[in-house]
Amino acid sequence: MIKVSAIDIRCITFAEGIGGYWVNDQPAVQAGATRDGFFFKGDPVTPGFKAIREPSTAYCVTVELADGQLAYGDCVTVFNAGCAGRPRPLRAAHLPTVQEECGRLFDGKSFKGFRDAADALSGLSQESWTLPVAFGISQALLSAAALHKRVPMARVLMDEYGLTLPAAPPQFAGSCGGEWELNVDKAIARRLAMFPQSAIQTRSECEKLPDYVSWIVRRVGELAGLGYVLDLHFDFHASLGRMFGNDEDRVCDYLADIVKRAGPFKVYFEDPMLSASADEALDRMSRLRERFDSRGPHCGLIADEWANAPEEMLRFASGKAAHAIQIKVPDNGSLVTAIDAVRTCREHGILPYLGGSCNETDISARATVHVGIAFGAWRLFTKPGMGFDEGLMVMTNEMSRTFARL
């Protein structure tokens, strides 16, 4: 039975904030930009960037309800903003326009529930900030519905979509990119289901990866011993295709060596090929999946870049362009779109990897946990930040306290 409850909004306000990390001009980095400490020398190549690596901006959303309660959300982009169809970095200069538009849509309005309120986001004008803003507002609207009903956000979703509580919570996919070795030790000690992700951006990192995989396998044996079953996950951000000129034979030979080195552990490769459009990515990924499937059960393909525009998710899932899709929630705008993406993956036999970015915030990470619980995500990407511990803490604790109340 579908259950909804009215949301009465007094007003919506925005304040300038920061994301959980920085934003990167990925094409400039992959083209060989020279490191300068934490930053890079040279000019950016992607529209919307002022430097190759910049501080991130967030828009902090507050929805005040008629009874005085406050609900929060954060509007952010992903780390590698502005490429592969993703929104450009947010700018503080756009805040007055965002405030005016959103005030018109929400101030003094009443809605039948979360989904009804989120539908109002279709009234946003189509600008560079539209998807990140819809993402942040939808978090606040879900929180508002939960406050009104005095239940966890996951319960709001389960009630409005007619769902029952899953038998077990989603498992985590740990991001170890900040420290390739130290964070792997932490992931092993925490017995995460999948890691290290690693964010492989350069030729040098691609060349180091085979030995890194061998080291991970040895380290698992040293720290965990027998009985620890995990998946390995490596995100190439198209760098492997760039290095090999998209030669599928060379890419597959390279990946086959990784699978061999991984031994008993299944390996998932994310976005190994370089594409200039969604159509090209769909074609390349579909062909690569066919070759993966012929190699046996110990490797899989994850799609992310180009698959995350709201209108592309169905094409990638129905086209069997990967074994899993990382649903990058900031790129999809409203949480309703991310929810639709999880359901689309399930309908087409694709594993729904509910992901995101190191550049998110604690608030957006917590909202993602509730979506993952309600809709049974295959994996949840740990976020925000690049320190491993902090993001895992935020999401683990939110998962535990939520399950205790459902």
Query: Which residues have a catalytic role annotated?
Result: 328
Q: Is 246 left (phi over 0), alpha (psi -120 to 50) or beta?
A: left
Q: Are 322 and 282 in contact (CB under 8 A)?
A: no
∠ CA 214-218-222, nearest 5°, is: 165
Characterize the bridge pairing of strands 379-381 and 171-173. Answer: parallel
- The overall longest dimension of the chain from CA atoms, in Å, is 62
Q: How far apart are CA 190 and CA 46, in angstroms?
A: 38
Q: How far apart are CA 322 and CA 257, in angstroms?
A: 20
DSSP secondary structure letter of residue 107: T
Q: Which residues have a Cβ under 8 Å from the Cβ of 266 and sit 6 or more positions away?
A: 231, 232, 297, 298, 299, 300
Q: Is 197 helix (H, G, I), strand (E, B) or coil?
A: strand
The one-letter code for the residue type at 281 is A
Q: How far apart are CA 301 and CA 345, in angstroms?
A: 14
Q: Which residues have a Cβ under 8 Å from the Cβ of 284 and sit 6 or more positions away?
A: 241, 246, 273, 275
SS3 of 271-307: the string is CCCCCCCHHHHHHHHHHHHHHHHCCCCCEEEEECCCC
Q: How far apart are CA 300 and CA 267, in angstroms?
A: 6
DSSP string, 297-359: TTEEEEE-TTT-STTTHHHHHHTT--SEEEEEGGGG-SHHHHHHHHHHHHHTT-EEEEE--TT
Q: Is the dihedral of CA 96, 98, 99, 103 positive or negative?
A: positive
> Nearest-CA neighbor of 168 among 1, 379, 329?
379
Burial class (CB in 10 A: 0-12, 13-18, 19+), 297: exposed
Q: Are 342 and 368 in contact (CB under 8 A)?
A: no
